[in-house]
Amino acid sequence: MPTKVDYHRRPMPKQAPHERIRNFDEVAVGYPPDLAREEASRCLNCKKPGCVAGCPVGIDIPGFIQCIAAGDFAAGIRKIKETNALPAVCGRVCPQEEQCEKRCALGVKGDAVAIGRLERFLADWEAAQGDIEPPPLPAPNGRRVAVVGSGPAGITVAADLALLGYRVTMFEALHAAGGVLTYGIPEFRLPKAIVRREVAYVQSLGVELRLNYVVGRTRTIDSLLEEYDAVFVGTGAGLPWFLGIPGENLIGVYSANEYLTRCNLMRGYRFPAEDTPLKQSPRVAVVGGGNVAMDSARTALRLGADEVHIVYRRGREELPARLEEVENAEEEGVIFDFLTLPVRLIGDDHNWVTAMECRRMELGEPDESGRRRPVEIPGSESLIAVDAVVVAIGNSPNPLIPRTTPGLEVGRKGNIVAEETTGRTSRDRIWAAGDVVTGAATVISAMGAGRRAARSIHETLSGACHLEVEPAADDGHHPRPGSGPAGS
Ligand code: FAD
């Protein structure tokens, strides 16, 4: 226990706002070792650590932090990887302020320990040590599993099962694996090299990756079941919602999915050197208040916009985005129009969007989400001049797989119905987890649910067939992307 309590978090070195809005490089550059050790030394190593209780997957947080404080980084990363397979991803994108850090004892009077940043530090330190050997694999058990979708849920299931001796094929609709980590979250928040490293690692476990393969079109789930013993569906929630207001079909109005995919995956910012165009828009309005909205607004700035608005119908307190990303957006000059509701989009004679008509809102009584309900103020309309509008108000699962898989039960919002603890669906030999079940959620929840589904698939297939499957020996020195739920 330190003699004097240190309530002040060490700041994360970052690119300066005026520099970073001119590039797509990562904003936060990470703690150097001395700063990481200083920050780790603030941890009180509580007897009953609230942070562990606040972590969706129960990482031994004080354990790895004590290792950092002692300068034993190898022991620290081993400790995290007992339960978290993707610390480089989770240390960057998990909503720690709502989870582990929210329960940190230091947070009562001062700043919580920067748990996410320390997690990232260890992951980056390990990556800098060079190539890491995959763990020894068990003999094949003769069973085959198809994993549909290569996001965090699919990657987790594929790696877990490969490490148990299954022959796994992962089918991905896009030309690159990684799901939202690849096409949605921008490079300046999650460098794609990290995602590629994790995907390559899963392949090194023997997982076969089939890209450009749209299950439900190229081949149905029932057809896969003729060849595979089980199918896992982790196809995410990639179907964007729209506002349903006049003018939404004007040119220059994008869903956030399209906008971010054009930029991240298709490198539209390099058009015409790359094939996918992305219009340079001086004035951009992004509708929504979540991570997707922040990512879109900050991408617009980096694409050269002079003025970027976030148009959100509630107040700052209610923004669902991670606080760090809200602060980054503010620092970068994004204009926040709170308590503002778009009611109409206006175009020119050539159908290009030119303005957004908005109505003012005020906060009323709390709604079913516990947040105060926004109420429209009649007669408060005003115009925002725009050249592009990005709609980032939410997503649902794509209906393709339910439509082409008879007997697969879906919920009211198009999500596949699956048991929370096992991922079992209404159809025999079909499991599902991640955003396709919960609707748009978080990386860590998709990974955790994927791990539970992998366990259930293994229990079912090995139990039914009396397979003698020993898990791969793991001395804890190896990263196992997907082999454990992650988070912080
Ligand atoms: P996904 O990551 O969506 O992966 C599904 C994959 O399945 C995709 O690659 C898709 O192409 C593929 N697929 C779909 N249909 C088919 C088919 N028919 N055949 C074959 N393949 C198919 N979460 C956080 O925790 N922190 C954040 O900061 C954060 N920021 C985000 C920012 C953005 C822009 C977005 C969009 C999401 C963000 N999220 C964040 C949410 C998080 O990324 C998701 O909850 C998570 O990726 C869900 O994982 P998944 O594996 O269920 O699905």
Please check the confidence at residue 328 and state whether its pLDDT lies above 90.
yes
Beta carbon of 93 within 6 Å of any ligand 1 atom: yes
Tell which atom from ligand 1 comes closest to the C-alpha of 178.
9
Tell me the H-state helices in 8-151: 17-20, 33-40, 50-54, 61-69, 73-81, 87-93, 115-128
Q: Residue with the nearest Cα to atom 25 of ligand 1?
A: 442
Q: DSSP labels for 212-230? A: S--BTTTB-HHHHHHH-SE
Name the nearest CA neighbour of 242 among 376, 389, 374.
389
What is the SS3 assignment for 239? strand
Confirm if 75 and 473 have CB atoms less than 8 A apart. no
Beta carbon of 423 within 6 Å of any ligand 1 atom: no
Beta carbon of 335 within 6 Å of any ligand 1 atom: no
- Model confidence band, residue 474 (pLDDT cutoffs 50, 70, 90): very low
pTM, entire model: 0.90
Q: DSSP labels for 103-142? A: G-GGGGTSPPP-HHHHHHHHHHHHHHT---PPPPPPPP-S
Q: Chain-centre distance of CA 248, in angstroms?
A: 27
> What angle do helix axes 152-162 and 443-465 make, rounded to 10 degrees?
30
Beta carbon of 149 within 6 Å of any ligand 1 atom: yes
- What 8-state DSSP symbol labels residue 410? B
Convert the pLDDT of each residue in 337-365 to its tens digit.
999 999 999 999 999 999 999 999 999 88
Burial classification of residue 475, based on how many CB atoms lie within 10 Å of its CB (0-12 exposed, 13-18 middle, 19 or more buried): exposed
Q: Is the dihedral of CA 439, 442, 447, 448 positive or negative?
A: negative
CA distances from 380 to 204, 231, 288 (A): 59, 52, 20
Beta carbon of 103 within 6 Å of any ligand 1 atom: no
Q: Chain-centre distance of CA 45, in angstroms?
A: 29
Q: How far is the CA of 150 from the centre of ligand 1 (A)?
A: 9
- The tokens of 222 are what? 């029932």
Q: What pLDDT was estimated at residue 181?
A: 96
Beta carbon of 214 within 6 Å of any ligand 1 atom: yes
Task: Give residue 31's identity as a one-letter amino acid code.
Answer: Y
Q: How far is the CA of 18 from the centre of ligand 1 (A)?
A: 30
Name the nearest CA neighbour of 97 among 119, 120, 123, 116.
116
Beta carbon of 151 within 6 Å of any ligand 1 atom: yes
Pocket test for ligand 1, best of 199, 220, 235 (most atoms within 8 A of CB): 235
Least confident interval from 247-256, 259-268, 394-403, 460-469:
460-469
Q: How far is the CA of 151 from the centre of ligand 1 (A)?
A: 5
Q: How far is the CA of 152 from the centre of ligand 1 (A)?
A: 7
Mean pLDDT of 51-56: 90
Residue with tokens 């119908």: 313
Convert the pLDDT of each residue in 180-238 to its tens digit.
999 999 999 999 999 998 898 889 889 999 999 999 999 999 999 999 999 999 999 99
Q: How far is the CA of 237 from the centre of ligand 1 (A)?
A: 7
- The tokens of 479 are what? 């990263």
Q: What pLDDT was estimated at residue 3?
A: 62
Dihedral angle computed from the Cα positions of residues 157, 162, 168 and 172, in that order, rounded to the nearest 10 degrees: 50
Q: How far is the CA of 238 from the centre of ligand 1 (A)?
A: 7
Burial classification of residue 68, based on how many CB atoms lie within 10 Å of its CB (0-12 exposed, 13-18 middle, 19 or more buried): buried
Q: How far is the CA of 435 from the centre of ligand 1 (A)?
A: 7
Pocket test for ligand 1, best of 181, 443, 445, 488 (most atoms within 8 A of CB): 443
Determine the Cα–Cα distance for residues 224 and 5; give it in Å rounded to an integer. Answer: 58
Percent of the chain with pLDDT over 90: 78
Please check the confidence at residue 469 and state whether its pLDDT lies above 70.
no
Determine the Cα–Cα distance for residues 414 and 408; give it in Å rounded to an integer. Answer: 11
- The tokens of 302 are what? 């980096």
Beta carbon of 172 within 6 Å of any ligand 1 atom: yes
Confirm if 177 and 199 have CB atoms less than 8 A apart. yes
Beta carbon of 169 within 6 Å of any ligand 1 atom: no
Q: What pLDDT was estimated at residue 357?
A: 98
Average pLDDT taken over every residue of the chain: 91
Convert the pLDDT of each residue in 103-144 to its tens digit.
999 999 999 999 999 999 999 999 999 866 677 889 999 999
Q: How far is the CA of 236 from the centre of ligand 1 (A)?
A: 5
Convert the pLDDT of each residue in 278-287 to its tens digit.
878 999 999 9
- What 8-state DSSP symbol labels residue 415? P
Determine the Cα–Cα distance for residues 265 and 192; give it in Å rounded to an integer. Answer: 10
Q: Which residues pair with 323 in a beta bridge?
A: none
Greater confidence (479 vs 218) lies with 218
Name the nearest CA neighbour of 317 among 363, 263, 271, 280.
363
Contacts of 10 (CB under 8 A, 6+ apart): 31, 35, 38, 39, 114
Tell me: cis bond preceding 272? Omega within 30 of 0 counts. Answer: yes
The kind and range of the H/E element at 195 are: helix 192-204
- What 8-state DSSP symbol labels residue 322? -
Q: Residue with the nearest Cα to atom 40 of ligand 1?
A: 442
Pocket test for ligand 1, best of 291, 326, 415, 416 (most atoms within 8 A of CB): 291
Q: What pLDDT was estimated at residue 483?
A: 34
